[in-house]
Amino acid sequence: MSESNIENVAMVGAGTLGGQIAWHSAYMGKQVTVYDISEESLEKCQAAQAGYATIYSTDLNASEADIEATRSRLTFTMDLVEAAHAADLVIEAVPEVPDIKIDIYKKLAAIMPQETILATNSSTLLPSMFSAETGRPDRFGALHFANMIWALNLAEIMGAPETSDDTLTRLTAYAVEIGMVPVPISKEQNGYVCNSLLVPLLQAAQSLVTKGVADHETIDRTYMIMNRGCTMGPCGIMDVVGMGTLREIFTYWGTQLGDQEMLANAEYVSEHFLDTGRTGLLAGKGYYDYPNPTFQQPDFLDIPQMSAVPALAAKAKLS
């Protein structure tokens, strides 16, 4: 038995993050059952495994046997009871919409064994918003992973006031067991450390696009020169996050804070990306087209040829 005492994991939500957490946990030896209400999402999640297999082989040196073993530890279901009835840990990664999360917590409360720990992967919401709805406030907290879990191996651990020490210890141990660097959060904070830094950056970049100040390549190029060595800029990151989640964050926080700029950004993302199918990296298109987005081209940060001056000067003309 492991330090965390967590062997069986139920992943609730098979979207961008749910798929990654499930695959990575299985890769690190956990038995994982993935649940989603949408058959299409479950199918997409399974299809995404081919991509993860390639990434884990190339980036993490995973052998074919490792990949096969990972696949064998994953099960997919649309039956919540099947997913959660024997889970040591249930990780929730449903949309960043409080009512959806509350609904699933209430359903889970009736199914999960007494000792099961429930963790939310919410990007910006607080565990204390939901503690009472879970029916197990002492065994509930946030375990937040970053997108591209195999490379950005962070796990933020944040409790609500009612979360027990044992739960925090087991969540931290679980994070270590699956190869994460734990980030303990000592005070409830919307966005932990990671998104307290990232969301303002994405909001700032999106505002520049929404207001027509600069295009996405110009913004990313500027950021990537300011932070030499980084592999993408904020618009590239938005593709990785996914436009659906981005809109949810802008809409929720725009409404909560009465922030008109954020609400305008939510509308821009809806109109220009979600309504046009450019939903982000998983769809192969968002701000950029994938594979081979322009920001990965070797000359992306180069001093341009003189022949590019007229086009650049035209962009500098005030509109």
Ligand X SMILES: NC(=O)c1ccc[n+]([C@@H]2O[C@H](COP(=O)([O-])OP(=O)(O)OC[C@H]3O[C@@H](n4cnc5c(N)ncnc54)[C@H](O)[C@@H]3O)[C@@H](O)[C@H]2O)c1
Nearer Cβ to ligand X (79/103) = 103
Q: How far is the CB of 41 from ligand X (least distance, A)?
A: 3
Q: How far is the CB of 16 from ligand X (least distance, A)?
A: 4
Q: How far is the CB of 300 from ligand X (least distance, A)?
A: 23
Nearer Cβ to ligand X (53/84) = 84
Alpha helices in the chain (DSSP H): 16-27, 39-60, 64-72, 80-84, 98-109, 131-134, 165-177, 194-210, 216-226, 234-241, 243-257, 260-269, 309-315
Q: How many residues does the chain have?
A: 319
End-to-end CA distance of the chain: 64
Q: How far is the CB of 167 from ligand X (least distance, A)?
A: 19
Nearer Cβ to ligand X (245/251) = 245
Residue type, 319: S
Q: What angle do CA 5, 10, 14 make, to 5 degrees?
A: 145
Burial (CB count <10 Å: 0-12, 13-18, 19+), residue 98? middle
Burial (CB count <10 Å: 0-12, 13-18, 19+), residue 304? exposed
Q: How far is the CB of 240 from ligand X (least distance, A)?
A: 6
Output the six-digit token pair for 74.
């994953």
Nearer Cβ to ligand X (70/279) = 279
Q: How far is the CB of 305 from ligand X (least distance, A)?
A: 36
Taking the CA atoms of 307, 311, 315 and 319 in sequence, report the sign of the dihedral they define: positive
Residues in touch with ligand X (CB under 6 A): 12-18, 35-38, 41, 93-96, 100, 103-104, 121-123, 147, 241-242, 244-245
Taking the CA atoms of 60, 61, 64 and 65 in sequence, report the sign of the dihedral they define: negative
Q: 297 and 270 in contact (C-beta within 8 Å)?
A: no
Nearer Cβ to ligand X (137/242) = 242
Nearer Cβ to ligand X (41/131) = 41
CA atoms of 44 and 22, how far apart (whole Å):
13
Nearer Cβ to ligand X (156/220) = 156
Nearer Cβ to ligand X (197/308) = 197
On the question of a cis peptide bond just before residue 291, with omega within 30 degrees of 0, the verdict is yes
C-beta nearest to ligand X: residue: 15
Output the six-digit token pair for 71.
């696949």
Q: How far is the CB of 249 from ligand X (least distance, A)?
A: 7
Q: How far is the CB of 78 from ligand X (least distance, A)?
A: 9
CA atoms of 127 and 235, how far apart (whole Å):
29
